Chains A and B, each alone.
Chain A
């Protein structure tokens, strides 16, 4: 009973926040439809994890057209390779989103892949089949979860798959980028079949040298929305933590065509929220 009450209070808080806080610049840049495949690119100096947290919160407490009585929002399939659950739980709790409760409610499916190993390591030769099988297994897990929850949801809330972060999957696959790309293509097919969206975090600067840009180019090609976080060119500042560049790919269908839309603004990360503002417009 106490838990139910807590849930209700939390729901009220979320709703109150939604009415108090109008969508910020990041939400605006996404537009109404968002995108099916969202790619977040960051670099050593400026972590893009906060964008991920924002998207996690958005997908869990999304204002779907008909919020279900069980608490509204969508379902999240979280493939975590970078951090343990406790890390995300603490952060999201400060943002007003209790991951533990969401997990108990089966709205969050947390797949802990921190120690994922795809091949017998340090054996010198790499078993390609082992990597393939490992990734296929991971995909099967995601697919099963998505199908079960989409059956339960009956198209009410949307399902989001989050991968944090892809470069670690690449490491787990022992640098076999083609396999990782294949895995992603499967995931993207799944998103279009089950009407869910995919959020990927990756690091841009890994691919900046001319050794391995192919992987990133492929990735950018697959993405509908690309969010880049960069430090300011002028260096570090306490008031501005960096800048965001959001590229929304143009969509063309039978009736109309929209061009690529690029927006650019600065941000400051706080514990419970992120401030977004146009350069120089901070008060």
Chain B
């Protein structure tokens, strides 16, 4: 079964199986989708990521993103998560180590022509070639038919267009700077007062809340020698989120933590993701993967939240490439191995030893 699920047909079938479920079980009241096992999802702001995670971020779960030390790719996830929340009119709590948290709100992306389906048609008409391409890229086509259902739940965001000011103003957005605060008590209190607004009620899904915390253990926070304080903050955040109708997204530079604490953080996460930049001119990688030029980074899914279930989610792939479609919206795609040109193709049996294949072939044959 595993073998038959690899490759494109599987993703097609997956989309097909997931969409009737979503259409049957959706109660898209303000961007909350109901799933199996009494789960309720909110969108991550990236439709592809929602699909990969089986519906989105679980309400009541703690999502952690391990940052790349050198690149700000985690901000892409953070921004889309926050924008999606604002579009759905979810309340938002944002904590950042930068001095001016409000400034970050100005960089949030706006949704791509969300409701005007006429412009969508126009787009399709006008961009025949892009349409042709889409067939090769991901599941866009498969989900196209269900777009109308899904649109309510998750939007595509245009990274070049900032979110409208009036949306930001209308929303209740709490911002905290955690720069140079002596301890985590302030952040803890803010989170707990924020979360009391979203008590968990069985059956009905009320309004949802989102907490976004950027670079929790970054040096700017000044939490030195406070490893246990931080880990117990995360533990109590997790406990608080669990009993409320909210999702918390925390990004952290894992490289800065001692290894054992990094593992503790990872264990505390319900959904664990990591992002990695790809080097600009990696010739070997460029040869190995198709569409290398369009990639901006890699996303790795380490753990998918399992609440109310003991069955682990086994994904078809754990590494996805982050790409910008038409330089605007973020898409995730599985890695595709590039076709190999004839010269080196003969000895391409073992994909791992491709760097030595050139030498090997000259000796072998």
Contacts and interface: CB of A to CB of B under 8 A. Distances in A.
Contact of B303 (A44, A53, A83, A208): A44
Contact of B243 (A46, A84, A238): A84
Interface in B225-274: 227-229, 231-233, 235-236, 239-240, 242-243, 258-260, 263-264, 266-267, 272
A168 B309 contact: no
A91 B235 CA distance: 22
Nearest to B37: A90
A160 interface: no
Contacts of B266: 44
B197 interface: no
Given A122-B188, A236-B315, A91 B310 contact: yes
Most buried by A among B231, B242, B243, B267: B267
A126 B336 CA distance: 52
A17 interface: no
Interface string B295-327: 000000011001111111011001000000000
Given A46-B312, A122-B188, A238-B1, A203 B232 contact: no
Contacts of A236: 314-315, 318
A3 interface: no
B335 interface: no
A47 B263 contact: no
A207 B260 contact: yes
A238 B228 CA distance: 36
Contacts of B359: none
Interface in A195-224: 203, 205-209, 211-212
A63 B34 CA distance: 39
Given A86-B308, A122-B188, A211 B315 contact: no
B194 to A, nearest CB: 16
B11 interface: no
Interface in A246-263: none
Given A115-B239, A117-B236, A121-B229, A206 B310 contact: no
A51 to B, nearest CB: 10
B188 A211 contact: no
Interface in A149-194: 167-168, 171-172, 174-175
A192 B172 CA distance: 56
A2 to B, nearest CB: 22
Given A122-B184, A122-B185, A236-B314, A174 B228 contact: yes
Interface in B315-363: 315, 318
Contacts of A168: 235
A209 B259 contact: yes
B312 A269 contact: yes
Interface in A80-128: 83-84, 86-87, 90-91, 114-115, 117, 121-124
A241 interface: yes
Interface of A: 44-47, 49-50, 53, 83-84, 86-87, 90-91, 114-115, 117, 121-124, 167-168, 171-172, 174-175, 203, 205-209, 211-212, 236-239, 241, 269-271
21 contacts: A44-B263, A44-B267, A44-B272, A87-B307, A91-B309, A114-B242, A121-B229, A122-B229, A168-B235, A172-B235, A174-B232, A205-B263, A206-B264, A206-B267, A209-B260, A211-B258, A211-B260, A212-B260, A237-B314, A238-B5, A271-B311
Interface of B: 1-2, 5, 37-38, 183-185, 188, 227-229, 231-233, 235-236, 239-240, 242-243, 258-260, 263-264, 266-267, 272, 302-303, 306-312, 314-315, 318
Given A84-B242, A236-B315, A269-B310, 12 more contacts: A46-B312, A47-B312, A91-B310, A121-B229, A121-B233, A123-B183, A171-B231, A172-B235, A209-B259, A237-B314, A269-B312, A270-B311
